[in-house]
Amino acid sequence: MKDDFLKIKDEYLWDPKSAAAIRDPDITEIAALERSLTRFRAPGAESLPLPEAVWVDRGWQTARPSTWRESLAIAAVLVLAVGGVWLSLGRKYIGDGTGWQGARIAGQPNVDSEPVAAKFRLRTGQILETDDASRARIDVGNIGEVEVGTDSQVRLLEAQAESGSLGLEHGTITALIWAPPRRFTVRMATATAVDLGCEYTLHVDADGNGWMRVSIGWVAFEKDGQESFVPVDAMALIRQGARPGTPFYEDASPAFRSALEEIDFGAVGPSEVEERKTALATLLEQARKRDAITLWHLLGRTDGTELAQVYDDLAKLVPPPSGVTRNGILAGDRHMRDTWWDALGLRDTGWWRGWKRDFPGR
């Protein structure tokens, strides 16, 4: 009996919600203690805001040009910091432009057809290959890691400590990147996936068809100037010879997803006009508020009557903000499209367009 009481008491201590209904004297005593000690609890973040100086120190609010002395000091600190990281990692290979470190996870992966050891170095230009029983990990400098799944072929294209690029020939990779956006890219025949942080999976089969799924953060898909922004829990399809698919949430209805696939990759010709019309009607009918992200992308991928239909239905889901007009969107006004994006309740366009300004040429 005593053991039972102790168990109940421990359970309450572990998680008060799990045993809140039980009124044991011991629990009452703990609850009284909790009530008494509440007065010392942390104030909310609103009551204890970080001092404004924090942001100024970081240059997030006011940017001050640094003097040459400061620049020299910063450079010296950076050199020491990089050296320190190098030493602290036990001389782990973090990328100097010639390669990254890899590790075997299962089976026997190969690099350029040669079996690899438990830990190996992957040089730029080399191909890491796994079979149906093998998997490997690649350390992306010191900004992340990529797990290469079974039956995959990956080429290392660029390897720096803080940035880099892989080429996915075929197979599956899962990337976890903790660097600022646009530091890591995966190139495929059909498009380039640009990491905006943090975790995503890419799959491409031998025919060049596949998908990308974002499990944490955001990923951009780029091809011939066309961009897609794929948020957490969303996917985009990849088809050989076609531009990247329009992003959609995984929990969209099957009818919605089928219709989108038809719009993205269906044959285009006089005989398919009706099929495409039906697909667009189905997609718009099935769209939930959350699917506004798909409709927003379609604003840049449709024209004429289709674009007008997409505008009208998107406007019902997320009313266009001030300054965004039907005529402007139909005329392809990119600024208006960006303004509308900001109303979707996702990150604003300044966030992902800003990275391009910060990292030109990447």
Q: Which is nearer to another protein, 112 or 272 (CB)?
A: 272
Interaction of residue 2 with another protein, rule CB under 8 A: no
H/E segment holding residue 72: helix 68-88
Interaction of residue 261 with another protein, rule CB under 8 A: yes
- With 0-12 CB in 10 A as exposed, 13-18 as middle and 19+ as buried, what is 229? buried
- With 0-12 CB in 10 A as exposed, 13-18 as middle and 19+ as buried, what is 256? buried
* Residue 213 neighbours by CB distance under 10 Å: 18
Q: How far is the CB of 145 from another protein (least distance, A)?
A: 10
Interaction of residue 112 with another protein, rule CB under 8 A: no
Secondary structure (3-state) at 95:
coil
Interaction of residue 235 with another protein, rule CB under 8 A: yes
Cis peptide, bond prior to residue 198, ω within 30 of zero: yes
Interaction of residue 103 with another protein, rule CB under 8 A: no
What does DSSP assign to residue 16?
A: G
- String of contacts with another protein for each residue 23-62, x by CB under 8 A: -------x--xx-xxxxxxxxxx--x-xx--xx-xxxx--
Q: What is the C-alpha separation between 336 and 342, in angstroms, rounded?
A: 10
Interaction of residue 104 with another protein, rule CB under 8 A: no
Q: How far is the CB of 114 from another protein (least distance, A)?
A: 30
Number of residues that bind another protein (CB under 8 A): 66
Q: How many residues does the structure list for the chain? A: 362
Binding site for another protein (CB under 8 A): 9-10, 13-17, 30, 33-34, 36-45, 48, 50-51, 54-55, 57-60, 81, 85, 142, 177-181, 196-199, 201, 203, 209-211, 213, 215-218, 232-233, 235, 237, 250-251, 254, 257-258, 261-262, 347, 351, 355, 358
